[in-house]
């Protein structure tokens, strides 16, 4: 069974799993699991592992325009983990994200594993499927930082200039401690016709918005994470774990910015013609993909 | 930090995690994670791993008297796993338990890991804390089968007599394919003053019902799984993963059985005197315990 067949079969068996989060009445539900040596290494401080395990789920809620309320946290703790310290960090992270941990499970595991289910409230959830030809395509913040940060992990930053080191550290921070776009997501209700968070990469995730339309992206309009060097095109187009919101709206950039009180970046248009194009050329998805089942 | 301190701290940080499932309005939420080489080995058929990953969560909902509705399933798949086959088995299991899978996550992992969050509905959830001195203490079915089945896993059954083999196989089935007491749990609303599912062992889980009372258990009244041999006392008192319901009620056994349409077994009484006693002697908790955080 190919990966594409697997995903198609998952959609068929579980039709409600197709969006960032599942909707039931006013409630939205999502879950994501982080696993040692797949999603992080044990060099990463527990504080950041705890924060990211919640953040990736809150990003899914943000993409639905939902207000985060609760989370359940299942932890499989490997030998090296100070479980008491990890629990404190989960509590700190929940406090800083203003959610309540209402359930959990704790067991032993060979690799540290944190599986989080987050529950939010959305009276008008923003779906992936609402984009129409003619809508503008927006991204919520500059891209490429997370992938650049991942590439810099473990690198020797001591030979860099002061400015380069500042940039490198901010890219690493973007990767290790991503900010879910919770506030923006809630404000996009009534503005965005569709929304997804960029977890696999722009070139992959834009496809989720192409249910009833295609997309045309302008390379020069994509905002780039400050100080990015190296394979910038690759980082920006295919870098995963950005947790920026990618959304569509018929409104102008200036109007949306005024309404949400911060910049958003128009990077293209939704088109009648199907498929995704970058400056007129077909853009292939090349984002990072566990199994692309999200 | 000792295990007891850890649990106390978890209760302090996350006060809503103290019951089998968290209650929010009419809804109850629970999650449990099964991990290869901790909760099962790769010898176990994917069908049974999939079923058990749902069953342990449905058992928590049953202990609340809740009707199961939905689940979210996060899978970390190791190399040996046929992911397509596993997905089918999760779908089959959900169908047989009459719940809908509304969300999921799929990634790679060194060890097969399945984390499930189950969501149910309970207008009057049965809490662990409602038992009062004078209530009778009940168990929903004979105990010891799961622990005996675990001990028999991988044993050579060919030298057993026909009857012994039948018993051995039914104990193994009890361990590998436990039945959550969903129907009974819902019927116990209005009957049970408190309820918990036996996941760590009778001697441990009975303590969860001793919030405002003690318990006195009569050994000869505990129903024993048919055909049990070996260390029967240990299996019955301390065997985990039974997923029988342990509950309290002021009503008589015959009255409850008539109302729920099946046998239930009175095994003791809740007492004013605190602590748990078996035939008058203190009963220590010795059940299996990952971290006893449930």
Q: Please report whether residue A3 resides in a domain.
A: no
pLDDT at residue B129 greater than cutoff 90? yes
Q: What is the CATH number of the domain that holds A64?
A: 3.30.1330.10
Pick from B39, B76, B87: CB nearest A9:
B87
Q: What is the mean pLDDT of residues B26-41?
A: 96
Confidence of residue B25 (pLDDT cuts 50, 70, 90): very high
DSSP B15-38: GGGSSSSEEETTEEEEEEEEEBTT
Give the Cα separation of B264 and B235 in Å (integer): 19
> Which of A94, A121, A148 corresponds to the end of one domain?
A121
DSSP single-letter state for residue B178: P
Side-chain half-sphere CA neighbours of A146 within 13 A: 27
Q: Do B69 and B196 sit in the same domain of this protein? A: no
Q: How many CB pairs under 8 A join A and B?
A: 197
ipTM confidence? 0.90
CB contact under 8 A, A29 and B70: yes
Q: What average pLDDT is seen over chain A?
A: 94
The per-residue b/e assignment along A21-40, b for 16 or more CB within 10 angstroms, e otherwise, is bbbbeebbbbbbbbbbebbb
For residue B53, report the phi and psi dihedrals to the nearest 5 degrees: -60, -35
Is the Cβ pair A108, B290 closer than 8 Å? yes
Does one domain contain both A112 and A180? Answer: no
Chain B nearest-CA distance from A1, in A, is 7
Residues A149 and A267 both lie in one domain? yes
A182 belongs to a structural domain: yes
CA–CA distance, B34 with B39 (Å, rounded to integer): 6
Provide the residue count of chain B. 294
| Domain range for B172 | 128-282
- In whole angstroms, give the CA distance from residue B4 to residue B14: 15
Domain end position, chosen among B121, B142, B175 = B121
Residue B95 in any domain: the answer is: yes
The single residue listed with the structure tokens 């590439």 is: A151
The last residue of a domain, from among A89, A121, A153: A121
How much is the pLDDT for B294? 37
Q: What integer pLDDT is reported at residue B292 of this predicted model?
A: 43
Query: Do B95 and B152 fall into the same domain?
Result: no
The per-residue pLDDT of chain B, averaged, comes to 94
- Buried residues in B202-221 as b, exposed as e (16+ CB within 10 A): bbbbbbbbbeebbbbbeeee
With cut-offs at 50, 70 and 90, classify the pLDDT of residue B10. Answer: very high
Cβ–Cβ gap A33/B293 under 8 Å: no
Identify whether residues B161 and B230 lie together within a single domain: yes
Which three-class secondary structure state does DSSP give residue A124?
coil
Instruction: Give pLDDT, residue A294.
Output: 37
Query: What angle, rounded to 10 degrees, do the helices at B46-63 and B83-96 form?
Result: 40
Residue of B29, B73, B291 with shortest CB distance to A103: B29
Q: How confident is the model at residue A287 (pLDDT cuts 50, 70, 90)?
A: low
Mean pLDDT of B151-171: 93
**pTM of model > 0.80:** yes
Is A29 within 8 Å of B119 when comparing Cβ atoms? yes
Let me know if residue A277 belongs to a domain: yes
Burial per residue of B84-93, b for 16 or more beta-carbon CB atoms within 10 angstroms, e otherwise: eebbbbbbeb
A115/A132 same-domain check: no
Give the residue from B106, B121, B200 with the most A CB atoms within 10 Å of its CB, the best one to mutate. Answer: B106
Residue-wise pLDDT for B186-222, tens only, equals: 999 999 999 999 999 999 999 999 999 999 999 999 9
Tell whether B109 and B207 lie within a shared domain: no
CATH number at residue A132: 3.90.650.10
Residues A85 and A173 grouped into a single domain: no
Are A189 and A80 members of one domain? no
Instruction: Report d(CA B65, CA A117) in Å as an integer.
Output: 22
| pLDDT recorded at residue A293 | 39
Distance from CA of B128 to the nearest CA of A (A): 15
Rounded to a whole number of angstroms, the distance from the CA of B262 to the nearest CA of chain A is 32
- In this structure, the answer to whether residues A91 and A191 fall within a common structural domain is no
A294 touches chain B (CB under 8 A): yes
Longest dimension (CA), chain A: 55
- CB distance B32–A105 less than 8 Å? yes
Closest partner residue to B9 (CB to CB) among A84, A104, A293 is A84
- Domain assignment of residue B291, yes or no: no
A56 lies in some domain: yes
Residue B134 sits in the same domain as residue B269: yes
In a domain, B293, yes or no: no
B46-100 pLDDT, tens digit per residue, is 999 999 999 999 999 999 999 999 999 999 999 999 999 999 999 999 999 999 9
Judge whether A228 lies within some domain: yes
Residues B142 and B23 in one domain: no
Q: CA A186, CA A68: separation in Å to the nearest integer?
A: 10
The domain total for chain B is: 2
């Amino acid at each position: 069974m190919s990966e594409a067949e697997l995903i198609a079969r998952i959609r068929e068996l579980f039709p409600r799993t197709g969006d960032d989060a599942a909707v039931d009445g006013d409630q939205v539900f999502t879950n994501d699991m982080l696993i040692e040596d797949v999603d992080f290494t044990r060099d990463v401080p527990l504080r950041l592992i705890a924060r990211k395990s919640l953040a990736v789920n809150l990003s899914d809620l943000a993409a639905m325009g939902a207000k985060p309320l609760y989370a359940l946290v299942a932890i499989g703790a490997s030998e090296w983990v100070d479980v008491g310290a990890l629990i404190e960090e989960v509590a700190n992270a929940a406090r800083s994200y203003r959610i309540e941990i209402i359930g959990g499970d704790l067991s032993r595991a060979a690799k540290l594993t944190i599986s989080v289910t987050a529950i939010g409230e959305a009276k008008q959830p923003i779906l992936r499927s609402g984009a129409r030809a003619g809508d503008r395509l927006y991204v919520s913040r500059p891209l490429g930082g997370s992938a650049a940060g991942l590439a810099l992990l473990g690198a020797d930053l001591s030979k860099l200039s002061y400015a380069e080191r500042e940039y490198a550290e901010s890219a690493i921070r973007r990767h290790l401690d991503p900010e879910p776009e919770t506030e923006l997501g809630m404000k996009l209700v009534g503005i965005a016709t569709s929304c997804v968070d960029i977890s696999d990469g722009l070139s992959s995730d834009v496809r989720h918005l192409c249910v009833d339309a295609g997309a045309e992206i302008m390379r020069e309009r994509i905002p780039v994470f400050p100080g990015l060097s190296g394979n910038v095109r690759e980082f920006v187009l295919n870098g995963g774990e950005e947790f920026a919101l990618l959304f569509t709206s018929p409104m102008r950039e200036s109007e949306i910015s005024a309404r949400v009180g911060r910049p958003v970046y128009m990077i293209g248009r939704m088109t009648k013609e199907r498929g995704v194009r970058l400056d007129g050329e077909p853009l292939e998805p090349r984002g990072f993909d566990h199994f692309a089942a999200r």
